[in-house]
Structure 1
Amino acid sequence: MNTVIFDFDGTLANTLPICFYAFQRVFKEFDNKDFSTEEIKAMFGPSETEIIKENLSHENKKQAIGLYYTTYLENHSKLVDYNKEIDELLRYLKNKGIKLGIVTGKAKRSLDISLGELQMDNFFDVIITGDDVNKPKPDPEGLIKALSVLGVKSTEAMFIGDSDADIQAGLQAKVYTIGVQWLPDYQTMEFTNEPDAVFDSVTDFMKSVKAGGLYES
């Protein structure tokens, strides 16, 4: 096992609150609709840009997309906290020579904002965003592309995510798949498809890594 690939929202950063807030503002201002967080969550899969294009009734989608990213940037420091445990985990894996990647449905634009704000810019050897695939998760396209870029076999990699779509993508890509519920906000309470392991604590995962027990939880 020489590669760890992560989902982003709800896995590496507690960015779900800012995603919900920005989407709710867009739909309120352009369609005068009040969407709950659960209704917004049901739209997840494609990038933010595609979610707005697919779900907004208002014809000025370009302006709406612009408002989403402006809202995301302006409110990031207020709504997204630095997580010391995640930072320590990434540093530990990086120092051990593990290849690190991200496969996310987020658009590159919002991911770059978050990586910069959280000082995560320099950890990852490959990043596949929603802009880089034709089929979002649960399709395994993004994971397969990441493995190809890294030049690693599926048996050498694990994928860590917080949603059913993450687990389904991981299983289809034939990588070792870990479901996590270790941040304050995550997408799935109970996984429809059983991951190879589940962790509700970054600390417990780190202990497993250090013990060489990545295949046991």
Structure 2
Amino acid sequence: MTHPLILLFDFDGVVITQKALEFTASIFLKKRFYNWTNTEPLRLIDFARLFEEADSSNKLKAFFNIYRVYKKYIPSQWKRVLFFINFRKTFPKYEKYETLKPNLESILKELKKRGVIFGIVSNTSGERLEFFRNKLNLDDFFSVFISRDDTPIRKPH
């Protein structure tokens, strides 16, 4: 007996584009107020993922993670605090415009015709994953959705 092929996808940057995160990062990197340092080797997506990886549904934990992660880039302690508050408020305003990655839908349709089963495993919150699940009709393609809220620890990077 053969089992069907099952493919698991990461969510951010694989299923959706992450353009909102990159756009928000570009806005903040242009602000001289933060006195940015050591940003030359970072691409926008690297900068944005630092924020994403340090984020948590627990606001206090997220604050301490981001405070620590951005120390190398924002020397001032109080400016890091302001960055945390402002970035966290700004990002959701643009996130609602996220779309599926280009050509993903046609690829998924073709593979689904061949009996491939798909799932999403992500470090994103369950609430956020549910929002995009409904907005982008992800149930049309994916059978399983696993968020950071469904597991005791986050998946490794």
Across the two proteins, how many residue pairs are aligned to each other? Answer: 130
Tell me which of 7, 10, 19 is aligned to 1:7: 10
Shift of 1:28: 9.6
**Matched residue, 2:20:** 18
Aligned to 2:120, what secondary structure does the other structure show? strand
Show the 5 A alignment for 1:20-35: 20-22=22-24, 33=34
Show the 5 A alignment for 1:1-217: 2-15=5-18, 17-22=19-24, 33=34, 37=44, 38-45=46-53, 47=55, 49=57, 52-53=62-63, 54-56=65-67, 58=81, 65=88, 67-73=90-96, 76=97, 80-83=98-101, 85-138=103-156, 165=157
Of the structure 1 ranges 129-138 and 48-57, higher mean CA displacement relative to structure 2 is found in 48-57
Distance 1:71 1:85, change over 3 A: closer
Structure ID, larger Rg:
2
Separation in 2, partners of 1:48, 1:86: 28
Shift of 1:86: 0.7
What is the TM-score with the length of structure 1 in the denominator?
Answer: 0.45
Does the Cα contact within 8 Å between 2:54 and 2:62 map onto a contact in 1? no
Coordinate RMSD, CA, aligned: 3.7
Separation in 2, partners of 1:127, 1:110: 11
More helix by share: 2
Separation in 2, partners of 1:117, 1:3: 24
- In structure 2, what residue type is equivalent to 1:18? A
Separation in 2, partners of 1:26, 1:133: 32
Aligned to 2:137, what secondary structure does the other structure show? coil
Distance 1:33 1:126, change over 3 A: farther
Unaligned runs of 5+ in 2: 68-79
Separation in 1, partners of 2:124, 2:35: 22
Shift of 1:130: 2.1
Q: Percent identity?
A: 18
Unaligned runs of 5+ in 1: 139-164, 166-217
Q: Which one scores higher on RCO, CA 8 angstroms, separation ≥ 6?
A: 2
- In structure 1, what residue type is equivalent to 2:23? Y
CA distances 1:171-215 after superposition (whole Å, capped 9, x unpaired): xxxxxxxxxxxxxxxxxxxxxxxxxxxxxxxxxxxxxxxxxxxxx
Does the Cα contact within 8 Å between 1:52 and 1:64 map onto a contact in 2? no
Separation in 2, partners of 1:18, 1:119: 19
Distance 1:125 1:9, change over 3 A: same
